[in-house]
Amino acid sequence: MAVGTGILRVPKEAKKGEIVRVQMVITHPMTPPRKDPQTGQTIPAYHLTKLDLFFNDKLVSTVNMGAGVSANPFMALTLKVEESGIVKIVYEDNKGGKWERTAEIKVS
């Protein structure tokens, strides 16, 4: 499975004005630059750099990160929902990988 797969988890339903938790896990090695023990060559860093959280295409939060975040990162943020809509996360790494995932919330 490829790097960059993820789980985006939000409650399926919420009340208007409720603050809900948006949780996510993304597969990524999140490695800092390091030296290959055999060849002595430097293996470049490979990690996520940025994640944007959108709700109905409006930017809610941006997370910038380095290799200090654990492998297969978990993150959680909150979102105040006033209407039904689509939660979207867009994330990219330092090698040009870019992915997105969506989830739906019904607000009553």
Partner 1 sequence: MRKKVVLGVFTVGALVGGILSTKAFAQTDRELTPEEEMRLVQEFNRMLAEGVNPGEIWYEVGKAAIKKYNLDKCDLGLGPGVFKGAAAQLPRYFADAGKVMDLETRVGWCLQKYAGMTQEQVLKFVRECWGKTGNCVSEYDGIIMYLTMESNGHKINVNLKDPHVKKMFEIGKQIYYARLGPWDFNCATCHAGTKEVRIRATRLWSADRPGEAGQAVSIFPKYLVRWGLPMTMHYRYAECIRQMRWPEFIPHSDLGVALSTYLYGLANGTEIKAPGIGR
Partner 2 sequence: MDRRKFLILSVAAVVGLTMVPTFRPAFGATKLEEEIQKRLGVQLSQIKESADIKLTAPTIAESGANVPITVEATIPVDKVEKLYIFVDKNPVPWIADVSFTPMNGQVYFSTRIKMGETSNVRAILKLKDGSYVMATKEVKVTAGGCG
When asked if residue 71 is in the footprint of partner 1 (CB under 8 A), the reply is: yes
Residue of 49, 56, 72, 84 interacting with partner 1 (CB under 8 A): 72
Q: Per CB under 8 A, which region of 47-55, 65-73, 85-93, 94-102 contacts partner 1?
A: 65-73
Site for partner 1 in 86-105 (CB under 8 A): none
Residue of 3, 8, 63, 107 interacting with partner 2 (CB under 8 A): 63
Q: How far is the CB of 10 from partner 2 (least distance, A)?
A: 13
* Type of residue found at 9: R
When asked if residue 10 is in the footprint of partner 2 (CB under 8 A), the reply is: no
Burial class (CB in 10 A: 0-12, 13-18, 19+), 87: buried
C-alpha–C-alpha distance, residues 102 and 57, integer Å: 11
C-alpha–C-alpha distance, residues 5 and 27, integer Å: 5
Query: What's the first-to-final CA gap in the chain, in angstroms?
Result: 37
